[in-house]
Structure 1
């Protein structure tokens, strides 16, 4: 596969490089997700990382700066559409273009896999994040996502 940074369209801050996650990134990644309020007690984030990294149709992308992991996006595709999960930017680095760059890395990875549609989920009430995705051209797909544990 092409290096992730070659797939990123938006300008990435000079000190941040996007790549697929490695074993040594996992604890920083989980800490990032916790700092961004993305984890839930019923989901084991370490298992989510392991599952995504072990599946050939998904990847965990990290933005790495001088201090370590500062951004992330988990991507995958199901043969029909691509999905983005765990898009996160360190609270200290938010509003500096890293969210846009992380989505660029995610979309680039999906495009490289031949994906033509991308979807993501935003929790109810998260208006700030909805505004961010709106600025990137994402719109409400007018569907309800249902779920069940197996």
Structure 2
């Protein structure tokens, strides 16, 4: 067995137990109720030749796996990343799935699991002259499994997210692009916004 493999297996087992508990808790809280929006969301549709659907609690472990793939890519681009974020990510997904301000779309892999995913979030800030209602979107976690790239999965997921934003009346959507994803986002009309995007990170490295 490879060095560090027992710890990795123990962490995976712990995450699996956590996901099971979160799924049970979510079912109890929601009672399998319909989506809280006025009209039901689509549970599956086809974009070109790609079938896109809403994520469910059963997809959380796969969503975490795909986020790990993206995290590795971000690290190669020089983005600072932390360890031990998976449990918090799974918990947040369990809480947000089905909420009015969150859309999580996925493409199923033929062999099981997920081939691609993307997350859309809606936030509120103070209204202003460039954003009269203060609502804006942020796209997060756009990932395609390397085994399923170059098949239009990312484009289909992104298209579904943008359709959702338009249906919600969101006028502005932000994202941070990896070098791989930037050309796709530009196809959807994403551009530099005229002002430099600046980020502050705690120099102490606290997590």
Q: Distance in 2 between matches of 1:108 and 1:21?
A: 16
> Is the 2:69–2:143 Cα contact (8 Å) retained in structure 1?
no
Per-residue Cα deviation, 1:80-130 (whole angstroms, up to 9, x for no partner): 1111100111111112111111100111121221212211123xxx32222
Q: Which runs of 5+ in 1 are unaligned?
A: none
Q: Which runs of 5+ in 2 are unaligned?
A: 1-39, 75-80, 125-134
Q: Among residues 108, 112, 115, which one is paired with 2:167 in the alignment?
A: 112
Q: Where has structure 1 moved over 3 Å in runs of 4 or more?
A: 145-149
Q: TM-score, normalised by structure 1?
A: 0.77
Alignment partner, residue 144 of structure 1: 198
Change (3 A) 1:77 1:147: farther
Q: Which structure has more RCO (C-alpha within 8 Å, separation ≥ 6)? A: 1
> Is the 1:75–1:83 Cα contact (8 Å) retained in structure 2?
yes
> What secondary structure sits across from 1:74 in the alignment?
strand
Q: TM-score, normalised by structure 2?
A: 0.58
Alignment partner, residue 94 of structure 1: 149
Q: Distance in 2 between matches of 1:94 and 1:20?
A: 20
Q: How many residues align?
A: 142
**What value does the CA root-mean-square deviation take over the aligned residues?**
2.8
Q: Among residues 83, 91, 109, which one is paired with 1:41 in the alignment?
A: 83
